[in-house]
Amino acid sequence: MEEIRFHITVKGIVIYNDQVLILKRVRPSSDGLGYWEMPGGGLEYGETPHLALIRELKEETGLDIKIIKPVYTFTAIRPKYQTVGIGFLCIPTNDQVVISDEHTDYKFVSKEDLREYLDETIYNDIIYTLDEYMKTKEILV
């Protein structure tokens, strides 16, 4: 019987001053999704998705975050390998970004400018979350 690998990953939609944090990878995604991505990474054995996101964001950006809620899921199926992902809406509790050696750059960009940087698949996964966040914010103000 052939071995099928299964991976769970978490991604953060980090919003600061109404802008979204994106990171530029050292190499383009092996899935053809380009250089720019949302911060995050894979769960380690025994880790919850929330703890994995907190750890990954700290490792990749130096940021401490407050997780608001899970907001989307995604699946990537490749030969002998499947990834299931959970995206979380979160806000940083500090603003001192220090990127890891996995990335070469970072930006906080407006919702309108995200389309320039993100692959359409990623953009479509998160745009509804950003719209919901902005509407909720307007109600609270």
Question: How far is it, in rounded angstroms, from Cα 95 to Cα 29?
Answer: 26
Q: How far is CA 60 from CA 3, 41, 45, 64, in A?
A: 30, 9, 19, 11
* Residue range 48-71: mean pLDDT, rounded: 96
Residue 5: the pLDDT is: 87
What is the model's pTM? 0.89
Contact residues for 120 (Cβ-Cβ < 8 A; gap 6+) = none
Residue-wise pLDDT for 18-44, tens only, equals 999 999 998 877 776 779 999 999 999
Question: How far is it, in rounded angstroms, from Cα 44 to Cα 51?
Answer: 10
Q: What angle do CA 19, 32, 115 make, to 5 degrees?
A: 25
Structure tokens at 33: 């999704």
Residue 141: the pLDDT is: 46
Which helix (H) or strand (E) element contains residue 14? Answer: strand 5-16
Which helix (H) or strand (E) element contains residue 49? Answer: helix 49-61
Residue-wise pLDDT for 70-110, tens only, equals 999 999 888 888 999 999 999 999 889 999 999 999 999 99
pLDDT > 70: percent of the chain: 95
Contact residues for 85 (Cβ-Cβ < 8 A; gap 6+) = 8, 9, 10, 11, 40, 73, 74, 75, 76
